[in-house]
C-alpha cells in the first residue's frame, strides 16, 4: 500500500494549484482523477467556450464596422471553428497528466472511494494519506421531466461536429445565455426558455434588460415565464411542450439550469464528511467535518462564485495552510464575474439592488457609446454603473456592459481590492485611447 502526505481527488485548476505548490514545498503528493486530466475548464468548459466565443467576438467587430471599412461580414464556419478548438482541447488531458508526472507527483486514474478517513481505494489498489483534499468539481444538472433523455448539456454543445439549424436552451443563467449567443452568431435559429422573466438575476436588472433586448434584435427568441414540461421525438426533430401548452420543435435542446457538485460514490457519508445537495460543507479553513480532509472549488457549498480562478485561489491557500506557511482563515478578495456575450456583461463588488438603493452609496450611470474608446469601433451598446461610498468616495462596485467590459472590470477589481482613491487614479497616466485612460472620467 502506497502512502502519501497529501492525496488530492480531482485534477481541475484548484486541485492542480494545490498539487504543484505542495510538491514545491517538499510534500509527497498524489492526484486521483476519474475523468479527463485537467478538469472541466480546459477540457469542456471555459477554455473551449472562449475559443468559440473568440470567433463570435471577431465577427461582432466586423458587424459594427460594416460599411465603415468592411463591405462584407463573413459567416462563421462551424466545422473549421470546432477543428480549431480541438487543437487546444485534444492535448489537455495528456499535457496535464504529464505536467504532474514531471514534477514527481503521483497520478492515479480511477474513482476514489474512502475506506476510512486515511485510506482510499482506486480500482484494486489502496492508498493512504495524512490529509486529503477533495476537488471533484460539479456536473450539469438535468431537469427531471418526461423525455429528459433528449436533453443535451453544455458538454454536448461544445463537442458538436455540426451546428443544428434550430436550437433551444432551457435556463436563464450564464451557460444558457453564453451558448445561445454563440449558436445565434454562428447561424442557428435560437430559442431561450426561462421559467420567469428575470434571467441573470445576479446582474444589474437594467443593464441585463439592455443586453436581452440587444440579443432579441440579433434574432434570439426569448420564451419567458415558460418551462419545458415534456420532450418528445416523433421524427428527426424534438418537440418541447411548454407551460403554456404551446409546442416548440427544434433540432437540439440543451439543458442549462444549474450544476450539481460531484460528491456521490466516494463513501463520504460513511466516514462522516458532511455535505448537502449544494456541496461539501467546510469551515473558514476549507476543512470538512473530518479533521484531516479538506475541500475546494466547485464541489463546495459556498457563497462565492464557482469560477476557475476562485478554485485556483483556494488551491494556493490550502497549500499555504497545509505546509504551515499560513495559519489564517481564508480571506477572499472582491471577485469579478462576467457573461461572455454580445456585448459582454461584467460586474464586481457591491452591485445588488439593495446596495444601489442604500443612501450610503452614490450610483452613477454612464452611456459610453459616444466615448471615443467605444465609438471608434462603432459599438451600439456600451454602458456602465459605478458605485462609490458617499462618506469616503471609495469605489465599491461597478457593472459594465460593452465589448471591453472584461478589461474595465479587471481594472475596477484591482482598484477596489487595493482601495485606490480617485486622487491616486488621477495621478496615473494610462495609454490613450484605452479603457484605462477613461478611468479618471468614471471615478
Q: Does 161 carry a binding-site annotation? A: no
Q: Which long-range contacts (CB under 8 A, 24 or more apart) does 53-57 make?
A: 53/178, 53/181, 53/182, 53/340, 55/81, 55/185, 55/186, 56/181, 56/182, 56/185, 56/186, 56/342, 57/342, 57/403
Q: Apex CA 419: angle with CA 418 and CA 420, to 5°? A: 90
* 105 labelled ligand-binding: no
402 is in an annotated binding site: no
In the sheet that holds 228-232, the strands lie side by side as 228-232, 238-242, 247-250
Give residues with Cβ within 8 angstroms of 440, minimum separation 6: 422, 425, 426
Direct distance between the N- and C-terminal alpha carbons of the chain, in angstroms, rounded to an integer: 60
298 is in an annotated binding site: yes
> 385 - beta bridge partners?
365, 399
d(CA 226, CA 191): 12
| Residue 271 counted as an annotated binding residue | no
Answer yes or no: is 231 a known binding residue.
no
> Is 178 assigned a ligand-binding role in the annotation?
yes
> Helices 46-64 and 78-89 sit at what angle, rounded to 10 degrees?
140
Cα diameter, the chain: 70
| Grid cell digits, residue 410 | 479587471
User: Cis omega before residue 343 (within 30°)?
Assistant: yes
Determine if residue 137 is labeled as part of a ligand binding site: no
Q: Is 174 annotated as a binding residue?
A: yes
172 labelled as ligand-binding? yes
Annotated binding residue 140? no
Positions at the binding site for NAD(+): 171-178, 258
Binding residues: 50, 171-178, 258, 298
Annotated binding site for FAD: 50, 298
Amino acid at each position: 500500500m502506497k502512502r502519501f502526505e497529501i492525496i488530492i481527488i480531482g485534477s481541475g485548476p484548484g486541485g492542480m494549484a494545490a498539487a504543484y505548490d505542495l510538491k514545491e514545498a517538499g510534500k509527497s503528493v498524489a492526484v486521483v482523477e476519474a475523468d479527463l486530466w485537467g478538469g472541466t475548464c480546459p477540457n469542456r468548459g471555459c477554455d473551449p467556450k472562449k475559443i468559440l466565443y473568440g470567433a463570435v467576438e471577431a465577427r461582432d467587430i466586423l458587424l459594427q464596422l460594416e460599411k465603415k471599412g468592411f463591405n462584407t461580414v463573413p459567416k462563421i464556419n462551424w466545422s473549421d471553428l470546432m477543428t480549431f478548438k480541438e487543437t487546444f482541447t485534444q492535448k489537455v488531458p495528456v499535457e496535464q497528466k504529464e505536467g504532474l508526472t514531471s514534477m514527481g507527483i503521483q497520478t492515479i486514474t480511477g474513482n476514489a472511494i474512502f475506506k476510512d478517513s486515511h485510506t482510499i481505494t482506486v480500482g484494486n489498489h489502496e492508498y493512504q494519506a495524512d490529509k486529503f483534499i477533495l476537488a471533484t468539481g460539479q456536473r450539469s444538472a438535468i431537469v427531471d421531466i418526461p423525455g429528459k433523455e433528449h436533453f443535451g448539456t453544455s458538454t454536448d454543445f461544445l463537442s458538436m461536429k455540426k451546428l443544428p439549424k434550430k436550437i433551444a436552451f432551457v435556463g436563464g443563467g450564464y451557460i444558457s445565455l453564453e451558448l445561445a449567443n454563440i449558436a445565434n452568431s454562428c447561424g442557428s435559429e435560437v430559442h431561450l426558455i426561462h421559467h420567469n422573466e428575470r434571467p441573470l438575476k445576479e446582474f444589474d436588472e437594467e443593464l441585463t434588460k439592455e443586453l436581452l433586448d440587444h440579443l432579441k434584435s440579433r434574432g434570439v427568441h426569448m420564451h419567458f415565464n415558460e418551462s419545458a414540461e415534456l420532450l418528445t421525438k416523433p421524427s428527426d426533430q424534438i418537440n418541447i411542450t411548454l407551460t403554456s401548452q404551446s409546442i416548440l420543435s427544434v433540432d437540439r435542446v440543451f439543458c442549462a439550469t444549474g450544476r450539481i457538485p460531484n460528491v456521490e460514490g466516494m463513501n463520504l457519508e460513511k466516514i462522516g464528511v458532511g455535505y448537502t445537495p449544494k456541496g461539501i460543507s467546510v469551515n473558514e479553513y476549507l476543512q470538512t467535518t473530518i479533521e484531516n480532509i479538506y475541500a475546494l472549488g466547485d464541489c463546495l457549498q459556498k457563497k462565492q462564485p464557482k469560477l476557475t480562478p476562485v478554485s485556483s485561489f483556494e488551491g494556493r491557500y490550502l497549500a499555504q495552510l497545509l505546509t504551515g506557511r499560513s495559519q489564517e482563515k481564508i480571506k477572499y478578495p472582491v471577485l469579478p464575474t462576467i457573461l461572455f456575450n454580445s456585448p459582454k456583461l461584467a460586474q464586481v463588488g457591491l452591485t445588488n439592488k439593495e446596495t444601489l438603493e442604500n443612501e450610503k452609496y452614490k450610483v452613477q450611470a454612464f452611456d459610453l457609446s459616444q466615448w471615443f474608446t467605444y465609438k471608434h469601433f462603432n459599438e451600439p451598446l456600451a454602458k456602465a454603473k459605478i458605485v462609490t461610498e458617499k462618506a469616503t468616495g471609495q469605489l465599491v462596485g461597478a457593472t459594465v456592459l460593452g465589448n471591453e467590459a472584461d478589461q474595465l472590470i479587471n481594472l475596477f477589481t484591482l482598484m477596489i481590492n487595493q482601495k485606490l482613491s480617485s486622487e491616486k487614479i488621477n495621478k496615473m497616466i494610462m495609454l490613450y485611447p484605452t479603457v484605462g485612460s477613461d478611468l479618471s472620467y468614471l471615478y
